[in-house]
Amino acid sequence: MFEGLNDYQWINHFPSSYEITRKMDLFKNFSIMQKKFKKEYNYCPDTFLLPDESQKYKDHLESLKDTPEYDKDKLWIVKPNKLSRGRGIYLIKSFDKLDNKEPGVVSEYIDNPLCVNGHKFDLRVYVVVTSFYPLKIYVYREGLARFATEKYSKSAAENNLYVHLTNYSINKKNKNFDSKKKMADDTLPYKWSLTAFFHRLKKSGVDVDLIWEQIYDLIIKSILSAESYISSYTKDNSNKVNKSFEIFGYDIMITDKLKPILMEINLSPSLSLESNMDIKLKTNLITELFNMFGFRKHATATLLEDKKTEDKPDAPINPDAKPKLKTKNLKYIEPELSTEQVEKISEAIEKDDSLSEQESEKMMQLLYSPHREAIIEGLSEYNRKKDYIRIFPSKGSDEYFKFMKYDLDVNKKLYEYLYDDKS
């Protein structure tokens, strides 16, 4: 499918993006980064892959018995590798309760969650990657906070999923669930917008900006844990590296110490519309994504016309034209230019007295960059982002280059052009 894409076709997945969405692959890649970078990858609970690490998990449980903080009633959560919406999840207190025949993971249960009105919750954050070469990561400004339908208790029975799990698809089956309740009544409707949720936290004196800063860090590091795989697979399996995009649904828990914990990443997050809040959030999410990514209508007649004219020589460049360094008008410096066009544009830039030395330097830098197409697309995409926040590349994101295995050059050049101190 990827190899045969035409210019007017896109796919809403990257090859091998399951490297971060299948639970076993996510924790495997995270574990590799933890060993290499230690404390810098500290957003996941202790996790063991099943069935391969069953004995390792058993040995770990035995080793805990010799520690002062040993708790015989400590819970662990078991999740199947590929299932979603809470299916197949169960909690255990001992190794003999583990069914380790099916592929999956067993993770330390986070027993100190931050609670609102006594209820446990997690955050659904929508993350969009528009390219892995160069890497471009966006977070949508709005998302969801999803609550368990029964109040949290550390001593609650492990089979009471309405206490321990926050999956909306599970909790809406609880007899206590009432989707018509309003937040104005100070009762939980069990699903809030992120705006409402963080407003509530801010009123309680919580440093919301610090939490978001950690969430952005978590997102970037999790994607970088598999960036080398997905980037190489994308280039190997597609004749055009910018023909894919991906919406990831991040499930994040906040501890009572206000630390975000990554629970899982969903490959195809639910876009079902079950409420007015869903309609507003998810339709805007998709509409703005399509605009940002640059979808446009391609009529059959236009395609045929393009084929007829594709072999014609390039139109002459007017050397007296006034080049402008405006990201909203990138037509003057096109991604694809002949050598003759580059020379003529260069002469025009040098002759243009209306440009400052700084503007001229930036235009020259773009004109002669081997990554001109990637830079122009990055600028153009950013102008269409609306309610998306670009977290990579962003100011200061060069600190993440150390986590990247390959393809540093195009990422560095894009960053330098966007955030050079001279700009």
Q: DSSP of 208-261, one letter per residue?
A: HHHHHHHHHHHHHHHHHTTHHHHHHHHHHH-SSTTSB-EEEEEEEEEBTTS-EE
pLDDT, average across residues 120-135: 94
Confidence band, pLDDT 50/70/90 cuts, at residue 327:
very low
Query: pTM for this one?
Result: 0.86
pLDDT recorded at residue 194: 94
Residue 287 DSSP SS3: helix
pLDDT in tens, 144-183: 999 998 999 988 888 888 888 888 788 888 887 766 655 4
**pLDDT at residue 333 greater than cutoff 80:** no
Q: CA dihedral defined by 230, 222, 38, 121, rounded to 10 degrees? A: -160
Residue 373 has pLDDT above 70, yes or no: yes
More confident residue, 407 or 374: 374
- The most confident of 186-190, 315-319, 385-389, 418-422, by mean pLDDT: 385-389
pLDDT, one tens digit per residue, over 56-100 is 999 999 998 888 888 888 899 999 888 777 788 988 988 988 887
177 versus 119: the higher-pLDDT residue is 119
Quick one: tokens of 390?
């670009």
Q: Are 253 and 260 in contact (CB under 8 A)?
A: yes
* pLDDT value of residue 351: 81
Going by the DSSP 8-state scheme, the letter that residue 165 receives in this structure is: -
DSSP letter at 367 equals H
Length of the chain: 423
Q: Is residue 310 predicted with pLDDT exceeding 70?
A: no
Q: Is the pLDDT of residue 309 over 50?
A: no
Above 50 in pLDDT, residue 111? Answer: yes
Q: Mean pLDDT score of the chain, rounded to an integer?
A: 83
| 237 has a pLDDT exceeding 80 | no
The pLDDT of residue 335 is 66
Position with higher pLDDT, 37 vs 2? 37
* pLDDT over 60 at 25, yes or no: yes
Find the mean pLDDT for residues 401-413. Answer: 85
pLDDT of amino acid 358: 80
Does residue 402 carry a pLDDT above 60? yes
The C-alpha atoms of residue 393 and residue 125 are separated, in whole angstroms, by: 18
Q: Which of 129-133, 226-230, 238-242 has the lowest mean pLDDT?
A: 238-242
Give 377's pLDDT tier (boundaries 50, 70, 90): confident
pLDDT for residue 225 is more than 50: yes
For the segment 231-253, the average pLDDT, to the nearest whole number, is: 80
- Tokens 């018509």 label which residue? 180
DSSP-derived secondary structure letter, 315? P
Residue 250 CA, distance from chain mean position: 7
Q: Is the dihedral of CA 325, 326, 331, 334 positive or negative?
A: positive
* Local confidence band at 242 (pLDDT 50, 70, 90 cut-offs): low
Least confident range from 90-99, 301-310, 335-344, 362-371: namely 301-310
In this structure, of 66-80, 120-134, 265-279, 327-341, the range with the lowest mean pLDDT score is: 327-341
Using an 8 Å Cβ cutoff, are 385 and 368 in contact? no
- CA-based radius of gyration for the chain: 25
Please name every residue paired with 91 in a beta bridge, in sequence order, or none if there are none.
77
Which contiguous run of DSSP H or E holds residue 104?
A: strand 104-108
Arithmetic mean of pLDDT, 194-212: 93
Which token pair is 355?
Answer: 């440009």
Q: Are 16 and 229 in contact (CB under 8 A)?
A: yes
Domains of the chain in sequence order: 1-16+113-294+413-423 (3.30.470.20), 313-383 (no CATH)
> Mean pLDDT: which of 77-91, 191-205, 348-362, 408-422 is highest?
191-205
* CA 136/CA 378 separation, integer angstroms: 8
Q: Give the pLDDT confidence score for residue 137 in this predicted structure.
A: 97
